[in-house]
Structure 1
Amino acid sequence: MLLKYLRFLLLPFSLIYGVAIVIRKKLYDWGVIRSVKFDLPVICVGNLAVGGSGKTPTTEYLVRLLADYKIAILSRGYGRKTKGFILADDIATAETIGDEPLQYHQKFENITVAVCEDRVAGIEKLKENHDLIILDDAFQHRAVKAGFNILLFEFQKLGTLQFLLPAGNLRDVFSSRKRADVLLVTKSPVPLLHVAQQASVNELQPNRNQSVLHSYLKYGLLQHLYKAESRILGSIKDYEVFLLTGIANPEPLVNELEKYSKTIKHLEFPDHYAFKEVDIKKLKSTFEAGIKKDKIIITTEKDSKRLRATGFEDLLVNLPVYYLPIEVDLFEEDKINFDELILNYVKSNRRNR
């Protein structure tokens, strides 16, 4: 609570940051700073806030939707310890390419995953051998003029007062949403009432050429961290759950697990956190001190990449450690509209069409 109030002291710096953002935005809009447009479909998935809006599962949705094309995903590779352009391969780790790119690479066999801070340079290396490129978290990377921008907004945060960095979590001004083609409201409740849909539209005030669509989270089977073993969420009913997260917004996951367990002990770390041995030892000792006979350790799919990459197997291998995959889906009418917009864009902008 104290930290919350201390952030208000940073509001003057947020004002300075906002002025700098607006000036940069205008320089790009006026063509003073050049944006590069490419001759193949480039789809950008982004948001205005720092993390937690569902970019990773939305990108995975696009991969499934566009499975008939040769796809490359280009990411900055946040949290990696390397620099420059790197193609994901069989020896890639979260430390070399980042946890999210590693997740894409291990999940989808027939796509290319690459990381590069300079998205223009990255696209130059990928464009000749691919039908389309998906830019993961590049809405603010104005050096590339993406052909189709999908901008994500968390349902729960719409209508709440938000501030720019460093006082708040916004890294871009709200008016920048006007550059997007689709305003996708994520993590919507199921069922979604019409009045809630309309509230999103009223909040986002789209242009005539913008669509406001809604998606929601779907949780898969719990997957063991080291074994080829899975189990349904219903199997952990009344278990003692030890939750380990290093993501921007674990609240939806906690809410989902609370449907099955009233005893959740949450070890929470910042987004992309590099787990240390002391953290895992703390998790293990907390688990072993658990009261119930039926107990389980759960983490996220993204966190599982960092847990596997940093050599914690000796500490965790004999424990019931599972990760919970998530997917996004859209409500029926929105899904039809979204899929059609994406497929039509890619089809009409392919080279040699």
Structure 2
Amino acid sequence: MILLRKILFPFAVLYGWIAQFRNFLYDKGFLKSYSFDLPIIAVGNLSVGGTGKTPQIEYLIRLLSANYKIATLSRGYKRKSEGFVLADDTSTAAILGDEPYQFYKKFPNIQVAVDADRKNGIEQLLSLPNKPNIILLDDAFQHRKVKAGFYILLTSYDDLFCDDYILPTGNLRESRSGAKRADCIIVTKCPKAITDFEQNEIKEKLDSTVPLFFSCIEYDDCIFSSNESKKVNEIKDLYKLLIAGIAKPKSFFDFLKNQNDISLTFPDHHHFTASDILTIKNIAKDSLIITTEKDYVRLKDCIPINQLFYLPIKTSFISNKTTFDSIISDYLKITI
């Protein structure tokens, strides 16, 4: 795979030129970016997948939903619907996509919508009788057709954008210079014990002029099904089947796994087939099955409820949480 990526380097150069030319057209006004008369916060990355966008959106929902009417707007990756869809009681993961459906189930007091055309999605949300006064755009850093008021750029600790290359040689969707559009940068999935020295080294590598933060993933101390919960420390030594269809599942497996467990890895946003379900049931038999929160919304109707559990995660700032919260608060005070 590494050799193939090196062979494809000329295509990476071409891809980079195309992405850079597109950004030039937006920057100079040849392609129009649309602004809206309400705060729009975009969370995204320069690379493909696995930087923790979902827990960061959930962090913002928890931070803001007590005082504002929040709507999330996502593309709805791999959903089986088209156009604008506003989540309601009839929605499923297949209709919304797994991550928006997760938002809808976890946060019933917010509006959750999907639309590949973010401009149209925002216009649809603003036409609602109970329209939001803040919109959170999920995975929209490259969606230049809409000009958000505040951009949060995520980069993973173990795969910093400054060390990466353009697709297909690397994982970058656009050149590293795209980071200049960010209003703040968060280095995600850091070790909890990251030192000040290492943080300063990363700051120097990223060479950014905007506020820089470091966060980590925290796992819940319980796993959950649709009707019960169990303490992680009580099931850690039990035989279980662990399932993950996410971009970077290693930390999920490491948190739960003992030497006798079996782990099954599927592609990110995987739609589980009847054959997949049969394989899972045959391997697990009567044992506990634990999956990620994102995969649970696609598996919950296929596995017995007393057997299938998920492990929630959330993002946590290693330091300067108050500073980050204040930056968001100050932006909202100016725009509302």
Output the TM-score relative to the length of structure 2.
0.94
1:104 maps onto 2:103 in alignment? yes
Retained in 2: the 8 A contact 1:187–1:216? Answer: yes
Summarize deviations over 1:71-121 as a string: whole Å, max 9, x none: 010000001011100100111011111000000011101100000111111
AA aligned opposite 1:306:
R
Matched, 1:114 2:113: yes
Deviations 1:145-180 (A, max 9, x none): 110000001111138842322233221211101110
2:9 maps to amino acid: L
Kindly state the Cα deviation for residue 327 of structure 1 after the two structures are TM-superposed. 0.5
| Residue of structure 1 in register with 2:168 after alignment | 166
* 1:322 paired residue number: 309
User: SS at the partner of 1:146?
Assistant: coil
Cα RMSD (Å) of the superposition?
1.7
Q: Distance in 1 between matches of 2:204 and 2:240?
A: 39
**In 1: Cα distance, 2:94 partner to 2:86 partner:** 13
Shift of the 21–318 alpha-carbon distance from structure 1 to 2, 3 Å rule, reads: closer
The 8 Å contact of residues 159 and 203 in structure 1, kept in 2 or not, is answered as: no
Q: Give the Cα–Cα distance (whole angstroms) in 2 for the partners of residues 4 and 153 of structure 1.
A: 21
Distance (Å, rounded) in 2 between the aligned partners of 1:215 and 1:318: 33
* Alignment partners' CA distance in 2, 1:125 and 1:280: 37
2:149 maps to 147
Residue number in structure 2 paired with 1:339 = 325
Closer/same/farther in 2, CA of residues 243 and 31 from structure 1, 3 Å limit: same
- Contact 1:158 1:203 (8 Å CA) reproduced: no
Match of 2:25 in 1: 27
Distance 1:348 1:160 in 2: 32
CA contact (8 A) 1:222 1:322 kept: no
Paired position in structure 2 for 1:303 = 295
Find the residue that maps to 2:263 and give its secondary structure. Answer: strand
2:276 paired residue number: 279
Does the Cα contact within 8 Å between 2:75 and 2:116 map onto a contact in 1? yes
CA contact 2:162–2:176 (8 Å) conserved in 1: no
Question: Cα distance, 1:222 vs. partner?
Answer: 3.8
Structure 2 match to 1:225: 225
- Pair 69,319 (structure 1): closer, same or farther in 2 beyond 3 Å: closer
Aligned mates of 1:224, 1:325 — CA distance in 2: 8
- Kindly indicate whether the alpha-carbon contact (under 8 Å) linking 1:221 and 1:230 is maintained by their aligned counterparts in 2: no
> What residue number does 1:51 align with?
49
Rounded to whole Å, the distance in 2 between the matches of 1:89 and 1:206 is 41
* Alignment check: 8 A CA contact 2:225 2:306 kept: no
1:186 partner amino acid: T
CA distance in structure 2 between the aligned counterparts of 1:74 and 1:225, rounded to whole angstroms:
27
Cα distance in 2, alignment partners of residues 320 and 95 from structure 1: 22
Residue of structure 2 in register with 1:213 after alignment: 213
Unaligned runs of 5+ in 2: none
Q: Per the alignment, in what secondary structure is the counterpart of residue 185 of structure 1?
A: strand
CA contact (8 A) 1:184 1:213 kept: yes
The code of the aligned residue for 1:301 comes to E
Please give the TM-score of this superposition, normalised by the length of structure 1: 0.90
User: Does structure 2 retain, via aligned residues, the 8 Å contact 1:54–1:152?
Assistant: yes
Distance 2:255 2:216 in 1: 13
Which one-letter code corresponds to 1:246 in the other structure? G
Question: Does the CA contact (< 8 Å) of 1:79 and 1:272 recur in 2?
Answer: yes
- 2:251 is aligned to 252
- Cα displacement string for residues 181-224 of structure 1 (whole angstroms, at most 9, x for unaligned residues): 110011111122101111221121112xx111011111114444
8 Å CA contact 1:42–1:134 kept in 2: the answer is yes
How far apart are residue 318 of structure 1 and its match?
6.6
Match runs of 1:64-79 below 5 Å: 64-67=62-65, 68-79=67-78
Question: How many Å separate the matches in 1 of 2:100 and 2:273?
Answer: 21
Q: Percent identity?
A: 45
